[in-house]
Amino acid sequence: KDFAFYHPGGSLGKRLILKVEDIMRRAAANPIVREDARVKDVLVKITNARSGSASVVNKYGTLMGIFTDGDLRRHLDGKVNIANKKIKDVMTKSPVTIKKDRLAAEAFQILRSKKIDEIPVVDAKGKPIGLLDVQDILKAGLV
């Protein structure tokens, strides 16, 4: 902690003090959609947020899944038009999540080990409060 205090600008110092909540995407940059939304509407929301994914919630606001550009590519096989499908039918169910008070360095290790680019940030009730993208970690100078 002393090292981090005296060297907060360096990447080692950042690894010791930078939290997920310090760099996560919030509000309009964190697209959240209901599980009954249509794929085409979700794509518009993701595009407007300049994000690579959307968190998918049930009617109570609890995270049920995530829809990423990877999910879109996997479903674009040319046989079925998914534009009008419900997002719950094409999302990744039970995604990896992280809490806002975890170190950003821990989040980076999770992203690397799971080979994913985005991770929803959830509160104690499992409701999404943010989104962390690997690009956010790179911009913060953590690696």
Distance CA 58, CA 72 (A): 20
Q: Give me the domains of the chain, ranges plus CATH numbers.
A: 2-139 (3.10.580.10)
Tell me the per-residue pLDDT of 44-90, one tens digit each, with 9 for 90 and over: 999 999 999 999 999 999 999 999 999 999 888 767 889 999 999 99
**What pTM was estimated for this model as a whole?**
0.86
In this structure, what are the phi and psi dihedrals at residue 66, rounded to the nearest 5 degrees? -140, 145
In the chain, how long is the greatest CA-to-CA distance?
Answer: 58
